[in-house]
Amino acid sequence: MSGASTTTVRAPVSRLSALIEVAALALVLLSYIWLWNGAFQGHSVVLLALYFGIGFEAHWRRGETPRQIGIRLDNFGKALRLVSLWIGPIAVIALAAGCLLHSWRFPNLTEAVGSVAFGAAYGTAQQYGLVCIFYRRLREVFHGDRVPIVAAGLLFGLFHLPNPFLTALTLTLGMLACWLYRREPNLLALGIWHGVMSFVLFYSLPVWLTIELRVGPQILSYLAWPF
């Protein structure tokens, strides 16, 4: 009798199941943004449990490993160079625009490092939802490469309404992130640049444009501002 290791083989997941997973996570995020963010003690813990619970359940049903979904280090350098090649110029443009508009207001070095570190962690969590859940599941729903990328980008932009600047930007960068992930799947590289871009946008561009990167009901208080 051979000593070969056994592998758990799970039944294929239907397109309907994948669509339900996408809809479930989208509903959780939209309801949190618009209805129950801060509504009760421990709201963020409930959000994280639902967010990662839906994702982990989907991975388990398919037998997806961390490496398969992009949680890996073997291609980190290559992925970081690829992402930097595309996202870096956008960050430079934002910095230049802020300089021309005289809207730079960067914090001191200690605060900046902390802000970027937190942004990278938070950005990695957001990118997990975008590429590891929405994009991967939408690839099971739609045929071809383009439609899943566009659909995932549209969802990502939807979560940033009604901030016009951020909605347009996240829709575009969301599609770009999915395309980069398809070429070189690495979640950490995307998360790091998400944090860097958030830092650059928040501190370099004027508040009247970014509305402090707020979304949902949080930005309604800004609508009365004399722009």
Return the DSSP state at 185.
-
| pLDDT at 11 (0 to 100) | 59
| pLDDT at 186 (0 to 100) | 98
200, two tokens:
């650059």
Across residues 59-68, what is the average pLDDT?
96
| pLDDT at 12 (0 to 100) | 74
Q: Could you read off the pLDDT of 13-51 as tens digits, one per residue?
A: 789 999 999 999 999 999 999 999 999 999 999 999 999
SS3 41: coil
* Residue 86 near residue 176 (C-beta atoms within 8 A): yes
| pLDDT at 10 (0 to 100) | 62
How far from each other are the two terminal CA atoms of the chain, in whole angstroms?
77
112, two tokens:
């900046």
| pLDDT at 97 (0 to 100) | 98
- All structural domains of the chain with their residue ranges: 15-215
Q: Could you read off the pLDDT of 165-214 as tens digits, one per residue?
A: 999 999 999 999 999 999 999 999 999 999 999 999 999 999 999 999 99
Q: Could you read off the pLDDT of 89-122 as tens digits, one per residue?
A: 999 999 999 999 999 999 999 999 999 999 999 9
Region for residue 41 given its phi and psi (left: phi exceeds 0; alpha: psi -120 to 50; beta: otherwise): beta
| pLDDT at 220 (0 to 100) | 77
Mean pLDDT for the chain?
A: 93
Annotate 135-181 with DSSP letters as a single string. IHHHHHHSSSSHHHHHHHHHHHHHTTTT-HHHHHHHHHHHHHHHHHH
